[in-house]
């Protein structure tokens, strides 16, 4: 891959757009020059807790304090930041439920996208006939991580928290409120959770289907950060050491922003975009509501994108590089028992040549390693990982390659649900981001299994960059998002890597086998889960909705 040369030094008087990306475990603030050059990054860990079982919660007030610390750290790195910053753009983790009371204080801990306690509720709602209409309107499969099922879980288990709530935020919306005092959300979460992606408005019908009509007043008004900003409040400015009144942009959630900053939006081409991180995220872009691809299984997300009329089509694997972490940690545990300490990357680097030389398809791996199961392109909370084809000749490099292949097979399965090969949704290439995308063997396997050229991006901090791009367009630094992308994104794209036709032929048969084995392993998952306690009986859900 070609590397972008280091940018020329900027003077300490040039204008800066700050991109703030509030992730689950890390909050980052990034300073960008007006042309998209990344100048500095500050990062502060953000803590979440898993008190029991499938629970995953975050302290809202602590997240705000960590945001303050992150922006102050950035000011230490950038001379005259308060005077030079012309905008602050906010993005962050998606899904989850961040409730605020009437005094503007947290009504309780936030439920994160990682929280699986509403899985039974989501499963019951999906089984109802009216879920077909909810899916038609939202274009999004129902999952435990979304606000609808999470609110129902809170009503059953923490009714006092719901009683105190006056606003239901997502993470970035809560931080936007802390920065501006404005109660707002965006069309991305607003529509895929409670709305109609065609008109980018809340849908009373969807809210009623979810049994939350009484709680409609909790939903904030939607704003488009690429068109509208609000001023930084004096109180927030004093805490941050920035100028009061500076425009603050409410960006879309982190995935659309990462896709925008990383290279999905290209009207002159039709790329797909995959983030191979802890989660596997697979993205296409439709440029009209009619072009959106909804599937019979009612899975995936249809998310308004910060370009008029366009929607992000998304299928997600619950676990991507978590599968690599798991198999490498097996080796680490064995080495640790012998008194040898090795990091994951050290082990992967050691086996890199052996993985490249291992035979394609020596083992078949289904990469559903997370306890929460799978949500794309099918939804099954019982899904579990497995190897098929093990013999005494299979060695550790074969397992590693099998995991690489399993991630690519699952990615193709997700893209197939978005009809990525058809004339209506042709994808010319797939642009890769995330940790595994840096591995050349993985890229070769990925290109052969998907049958598409791949291209990585050197755009640093793509999520923060995407939010900052929205601010740049809102401030009219660019006439269109396409103009902005040509300067902020295109120069950071690497060279296209070709598909190996011989390897592609092998993997085509393996992909068909991967699909063919799913019914059998699904039956196994059901048998294995039969003895486990159902975490949310349908009877309890019926009492909640009554």
Tens of each residue's pLDDT in the chain, 546 residues: 444 444 444 446 699 999 999 998 899 999 999 999 999 999 999 999 998 888 999 999 999 999 999 999 999 999 999 999 999 999 999 899 999 999 999 999 999 998 989 989 998 999 999 999 999 999 999 988 999 999 999 999 999 999 999 999 999 999 999 999 999 999 999 999 999 999 999 999 999 999 999 999 999 999 999 999 999 999 999 999 999 999 999 999 999 999 999 999 988 888 999 988 888 999 998 888 888 888 888 988 999 999 988 999 999 888 888 999 999 999 999 999 999 999 999 999 999 999 999 999 999 999 998 877 887 888 787 899 999 999 999 999 999 999 999 999 999 999 988 877 665 657 889 999 888 888 999 999 999 999 999 999 888 899 999 999 999 999 999 999 999 999 999 999 999 999 999 999 999 999 999 999 998 888 888 888 775 654 444 555 555 555
Is residue 5 in a domain?
no
Alpha helices in 1-80 (DSSP H): 60-77
Domain contains 107: no
Q: Look at residue 438 and tell me if it is in a domain.
A: yes
CA distance linking residue 536 with residue 543, whole number of Å: 12
Residues 43 and 66 grouped into a single domain = yes
Question: For position 153, which CATH number holds?
Answer: 3.30.420.40
Task: Indicate if 254 and 127 belong to the same structural domain.
Answer: no
Do 217 and 227 fall into the same domain?
no
Instruction: Judge whether 1 lies within some domain.
Output: no
Say yes or no: 277 and 134 in one domain.
no
374 and 281 together in one domain = yes
Residue 286 three-state SS: strand
- Give yes or no: residues 247 and 356 share one domain: no
Number of domains in the chain: 3
129 and 229 together in one domain = no
Question: Is there a domain that residue 231 lies in?
Answer: yes
Residue 102 lies in a domain: no
The reply to whether 138 and 240 lie within a common domain is: no
Domain identity same for 268 and 374: yes
Instruction: Render 35-57 in DSSP notation, one character per residue.
Output: TS-EEEEEEEE--EE--STT--E
In a domain, 106, yes or no: no
Domain, as residue range, for 34: 11-94+170-177+223-261+461-490
Residue 4 lies in a domain: no
What is the rounded (10 degree) CA torsion for 421, 423, 424, 429?
50
Q: Does 345 lie in the same domain as 466?
A: no
Are the C-beta atoms of 30 and 10 separated by less than 8 Å? Answer: no
| Phi, psi (rounded to 5 degrees) for 280 | -95, 120
- In angstroms, rounded to a whole number, what is the distance separating the alpha carbons of residues 127 and 261? 37
Same-domain check for residues 283 and 348: yes
275 in the same domain as 398:
yes
pTM: 0.86
């Amino acid at each position: 891959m070609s590397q972008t040369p280091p940018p020329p030094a900027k003077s300490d008087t040039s204008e800066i757009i700050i991109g703030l990306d509030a992730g689950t475990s890390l909050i980052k603030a990034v300073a960008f020059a007006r042309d998209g050059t990344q100048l500095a990054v500050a990062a502060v860990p953000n803590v979440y807790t898993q008190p029991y079982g499938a629970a995953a919660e975050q302290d809202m007030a602590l997240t705000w304090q960590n945001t303050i610390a992150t922006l102050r750290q950035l000011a230490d790195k950038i001379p005259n930041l308060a005077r030079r910053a012309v905008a602050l753009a906010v993005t962050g983790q998606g899904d989850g439920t961040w409730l605020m009371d009437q005094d503007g204080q947290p009504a309780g801990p936030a439920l994160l996208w990682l929280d699986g306690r509403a899985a039974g509720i989501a499963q019951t709602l999906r089984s109802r006939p009216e879920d077909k209409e909810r899916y038609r309107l939202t274009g999004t499969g129902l999952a435990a991580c979304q606000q609808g099922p999470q609110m129902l879980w809170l009503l059953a288990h923490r009714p006092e928290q719901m009683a105190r709530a006056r606003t239901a935020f997502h993470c970035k919306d809560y931080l936007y409120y802390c920065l501006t005092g404005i109660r707002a959300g965006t069309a991305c979460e607003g529509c895929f959770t409670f709305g109609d992606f065609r008109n980018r408005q809340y849908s009373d019908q969807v809210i009623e289907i979810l049994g939350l009509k009484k709680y409609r007043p909790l939903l904030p008004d939607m704003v488009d950060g690429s068109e509208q900003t609000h001023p930084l409040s004096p109180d927030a400015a004093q805490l941050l050491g920035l100028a009061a009144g500076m425009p603050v942009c409410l960006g879309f959630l982190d995935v659309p922003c990462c896709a925008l900053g990383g290279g999905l939006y290209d009207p002159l081409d039709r790329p797909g975009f995959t983030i191979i991180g802890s989660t596997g995220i697979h993205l296409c872009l439709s440029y009209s509501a009619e072009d959106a691809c909804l599937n019979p299984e009612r899975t995936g997300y249809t998310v308004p994108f910060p370009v008029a009329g366009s929607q992000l089509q998304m299928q997600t694997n619950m676990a991507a590089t978590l599968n690599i972490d798991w198999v490498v940690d097996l080796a680490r545990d064995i080495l640790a028992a012998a008194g040898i300490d090795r990091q994951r990357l050290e082990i992967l680097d050691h086996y890199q040549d052996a993985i490249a030389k291992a035979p394609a398809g020596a083992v078949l791996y289904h990469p559903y390693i997370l306890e929460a199961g799978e949500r794309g392109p099918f939804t099954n909370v019982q899904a579990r990982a497995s190897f098929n084809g093990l013999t005494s000749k299979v060695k550790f490099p074969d397992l590693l390659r099998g995991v690489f292949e399993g991630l690519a097979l699952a990615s193709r399965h997700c893209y197939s649900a978005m009809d990525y090969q058809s004339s209506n949704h042709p994808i010319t290439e797939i642009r890769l981001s995330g940790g595994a995308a840096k591995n050349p063997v993985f890229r070769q396997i990925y290109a052969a299994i998907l049958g598409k050229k791949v291209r990585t991006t050197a755009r640093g901090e793509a999520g923060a960059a995407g939010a900052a791009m929205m601010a740049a367009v809102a401030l009219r630094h660019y006439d269109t998002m396409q103009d902005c992308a040509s300067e902020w994104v295109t120069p950071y794209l690497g060279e296209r890597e070709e598909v190996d036709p011989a390897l592609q032929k092998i993997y085509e048969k393996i992909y068909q086998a991967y699909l063919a084995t799913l019914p059998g392993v699904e039956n196994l998952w059901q048998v294995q889960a039969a003895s486990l306690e159902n975490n949310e009986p349908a009877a309890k859900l019926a009492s909640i909705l009554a």
